Amino acid sequence: ELLKLLFQALDHTNRFVRETGYQVFASLVRLGVGKDAQSSSALSPEQEIENRQSILNYGDQLADYLRKGLADNWSQVRLAASWATRSFLVTLGDNEAKEQFYPKLLPPMCLNRYYVAAGVRIYSQENWKIITGNDGKRLVEKFIKETVEFYVSQTKADNHAVREAACECIAELGIKVSPDAVRPHVGVLLEAMIECFKDEGWPVRDAACLACGNFVQCFPEECRASLDTLYELFFNNLCDNIPSVRQGAATSLANVVKTYGSEAVEFVTEKAKEKLKAVEKQENADDRFSGLEKGAGLFGVIKRQRDNDIELHSNQTMYSCGSLAPKMGRGGCSNSHFKRPSQPWEITDGCIYLVAELSKLQTTQEQMKFLIPLMAETTKHRHYSQYLQLYESLCKQLPVVAKGLGKRNFKTYIEAFMDPIFHSLTSENALTSTAAVECVQELAKFIGPSILRGRVELYNPSYLAILDNHLHH
């Protein structure tokens, strides 16, 4: 009767009832072997077996509810389910008893280590260490089929935070788990990540992009068949209107070039040359909302009708406070109501990140002779209001380019970037000027302050006072 009441609480629509239910669950399963280790050891072996058996009799049903709680839409319920899961597995004691429930419980436990809510994430990381010890990797490999199935199902979850965590977990499979264990599942994992590329939530797109970049490195032959699709998606992300998404795409494209060598170098660098010139098409006007339809009055009428639609507010899935999940649907980026088209300067900005990543690779050094001058050429366009954001990216990436090319090679290009660097140093935009200060300080360390000062003096002596002012801080 007590378990029946508990299961009703765990199925309740109210998250407070479910949360309390899992707290009761945690207390209840601990009763199976005594309240603590001392009382447990005071029991006779027969009593211990009998008490543990009482849990095992309902084990499958209990594990099903724990799995459900570990995947709940409310973070507080996930945390309470995590407490209950630890109590359940610790109470069972020996590994043989626990392992029969691992196919159900290990995958959600593993995913919650990357969950967006810090409390759930930190507790789940501790949980993983306590439950699996040093066997975590071995257990994931042993139950790889169940783990992959769960991860793929979570890439289709309604909650954008869950989809993001699933992509990060899939990336982890490629990096940390034995390639032989993951290889049979690469196709289905890649398919799931490609679908996440189309997500309305930019953190999901970013996580999917980085995960695919890692998979290409770990499984080059298995990914080769999807390379055309991946190229298109990587370059879409490189042109995204979110800066961190552009940066992630640049990293992933560099991984592709690193993996496939000369066959990828030509394609990626040609695309980079083409897209670096996009800023030339940037319009003068700062028409930030050009992609949105006009007619506020009509929108207001429709919004009121929608807000008062009872069906939209009845029997719907509920989410944690502050969650964007109801607004960020999966797989709808191309038809999104919220994502505006990228502006030409953003396309060029993404390519600056890409050039910086490619400069680190030996296979692309010859191509840098064409890409670096093109990158410098982009800074001559200041006719649009966001050019300082482009300068900020440039200042952040120039030290990366310098280290990638080496002192000797970089010094042949440094004069081409003098004007944008010093324009940024004197800018009133705090982010741009700070990036420029860090840029000149890094370059001074790399090529030597006296050499940098000499180059500046030769290029434009009026810049010396500005340089000295920032180098001495």
pLDDT tens digits, one per residue of 390-428: 999 999 999 999 999 999 999 999 999 999 999 999 999
For the cut 50, the answer to whether the pLDDT of residue 306 exceeds it is no
For the cut 60, the answer to whether the pLDDT of residue 4 exceeds it is yes
128 burial level (CB within 10 Å; 0-12, 13-18, 19+)? middle
For the cut 90, the answer to whether the pLDDT of residue 434 exceeds it is yes
For the cut 70, the answer to whether the pLDDT of residue 321 exceeds it is no
**Higher model confidence: residue 305 or residue 24?**
24
pLDDT of 374: 94
DSSP state of 361: -
Residue with tokens 């609480």: 9
pLDDT of 363: 92
**467: helix, strand or coil:** helix
**Confidence category of residue 29, pLDDT binned at 50, 70, 90:** confident
Q: How far apart are CA 106 and CA 262, in angstroms?
A: 41
Residue from 189, 231, 232 nearest 211 by CA? 189
Beta-bridge partners for 34: 32
**Higher model confidence: residue 224 or residue 309?**
224
Average pLDDT, the chain: 84
- The mean pLDDT of 239-248, rounded to a whole number, is 92
For the cut 70, the answer to whether the pLDDT of residue 335 exceeds it is no
pLDDT of 318: 54
For the cut 70, the answer to whether the pLDDT of residue 198 exceeds it is yes
pLDDT of 80: 93
Rounded to the nearest 10 degrees, the angle between the axes of helix 59-70 and helix 75-92 is 150
- The mean pLDDT of 233-260, rounded to a whole number, is 93
Query: How many CB atoms lie under 10 A from the CB of residue 372?
Result: 20
HEC profile of 63-107: HHHHHHHHCCCCHHHHHHHHHHHHHHHHHHCCHHHHHCCHHHHHH
What percentage of the chain has pLDDT greater than the value 90? 63
Residue pLDDT, tens place only, 41-76: 445 556 556 656 666 777 788 889 999 999 998 899
pLDDT of 200: 87
For the cut 80, the answer to whether the pLDDT of residue 337 exceeds it is no
DSSP state of 328: S
Angle at 198 between CA 193 and CA 204, to 5 degrees: 65
pLDDT of 361: 93
**Higher model confidence: residue 212 or residue 92?**
212
Q: How far apart are CA 373 and CA 416, in angstroms?
A: 8
- The mean pLDDT of 259-272, rounded to a whole number, is 92
**Higher model confidence: residue 179 or residue 28?**
179
For the cut 50, the answer to whether the pLDDT of residue 172 exceeds it is yes
Residue pLDDT, tens place only, 338-375: 567 889 999 999 999 999 999 999 999 999 999 999 99
